[in-house]
Amino acid sequence: MATEVRLPDIGEGIEKGTVVGVLVKVGDTVAKDQPLVELETDKAVVEIPSSAGGVVSKINVKENEEAAVGSVLIVVEEEGAAVASAEAPAGAPPATAPAATTPAPAPGPLAPPPAATGAAAVPASTRGPDAGPDAGPAAGAEPNGGLVPAAPSVRRLARELGVDLQRVTGTGALGRISAADVRAFADAATAAPTPGPAAAAPATATGAPAGVQAGAAPLPDFGRWGAVVRTPMSGIRKATVRSMTTAWATVPMVTHFDKADITELELIRKRYQPKVEAAGGKLTPTAILLKVVAGALRRFPDFNASIDLASQEIVHKQYVNVGVAVDTDAGLLVPVIKGADRKNLIELSVELGELAVKARDRKLTPDEMQGGNFSISNLGGIGGHAFTPIVNPPDVAILGVSRASHEPVWNRETGTFEARLLMPLALTYDHRLIDGAAAARFLRWVCGALEEPFLVALEG
């Protein structure tokens, strides 16, 4: 009996991935749960195991090809059946030929249940009410029976505006369509005449052909001036392009800057470093910032929220999950520390170290990179005195950290300048929800907690 090994649901919002490695070949004997394929998603490389033991009889994928959830990757046959098939006379029909007299359609990407469709882009707590009729296939079914990747609220908006979701290319992760995409498509359709059938091209949310950035001029022939090498983008780089383009186009961002005097904090950090190392972690400034930011998010709930434009609501999360950007050879990965406000500094230090290692080894699971409410990007170990991080929707803020340095600070009591260790901080926020005064208070609280560590225990 043949077993089709299909690409399973490997994480919320992940509908396809790029094959980066085929670990077996036709004729190999494999055991159940043995890894067969390495698949690169937006943020990680995962191994797809065999669902049965036997002999590999067919491989349907190649390296650098994309595979959709539900598609058949590899066919595995029981060892006896594989031998019988190999010994059959040339041209003889296989044992399963009768079943093939009525060919079944090729399996397309398996669509998630309607209730789960809207959960791909954001955690369940950030979605608006899901009305039953909005989740049906009629709200945006694809020709192959799958569903257009869009939340029920977005489908409802599309019907209200008369937009065919099949003509909209989403700018979210893995092509997910947002309310902003639908509105932009409707505006573009109203402003420009509808092209005839011969001139029609798949449109993006900005009205540009699919895969073409709106307003971008065609590239020149670089080969005219010398040799060039074209390298396909990795899944991580493609995801970065999509998410950063969407963020820049849809979120009005403002960055507020401040500096924290960490002179005393650095002495404390070095004093307790051995104790944290004994527990298997490292007491880094990032780990301390995790604890401080978690306290700030509890104190300033608007920074721990998301905007639901479709329902015109602000979604305040009752949990504190903080993402930390990790620089890897494959690109920037952002593992998420869940329940950061409920963990002490030792626990945060150990978990952060473990996730950073997994990120650099490309061993993070999709769940370890989902569910974040706020992010920290620390470039202090590399250099620079300031930068403006970009908010990653549906988050509404991100904290950028630059290299600390000694600077002269005026001491009013002694009437002299003193050398103090100052850490530059940059808070970028979504101005639709966060006002400038609120951002200044948030960042000043973070600075105060770094300058007076007891403040975290007192007010955090």
Positions marked catalytic? 431
The structure tokens 């997994």 sit at: 358
Scanning 333-400, the segments in alpha helix (DSSP H) are 345-360
Do residues 291 and 350 touch, judged by C-beta distance below 8 A? Answer: no
Distance of CA 117 to the CA centre of its chain: 16
H/E run at residue 374: strand 374-378
What are the structure tokens assigned to 431, written together? 């101005």
Distances (CA, A) of 287 to 322, 336, 460: 11, 13, 15
What are the structure tokens assigned to 424, written together? 């530059």
Do residues 365 and 383 touch, judged by C-beta distance below 8 A? Answer: no
For 144, phi then psi, to 5°, come to -85, 10
Distance from C-alpha of 365 to C-alpha of 48, rounded to nearest angstrom: 12
The structure tokens 């970009």 sit at: 390
For 349, phi then psi, to 5°, come to -65, -45
Which residues in 418-439 are b (16+ Cβ under 10 Å) and which e? eebbbbbbbbbbbeebbeeebb
Query: Which three-class secondary structure state does DSSP give residue 429?
Result: strand
Do residues 39 and 5 touch, judged by C-beta distance below 8 A? Answer: no
Do residues 410 and 417 touch, judged by C-beta distance below 8 A? Answer: yes
Do residues 433 and 396 touch, judged by C-beta distance below 8 A? Answer: yes
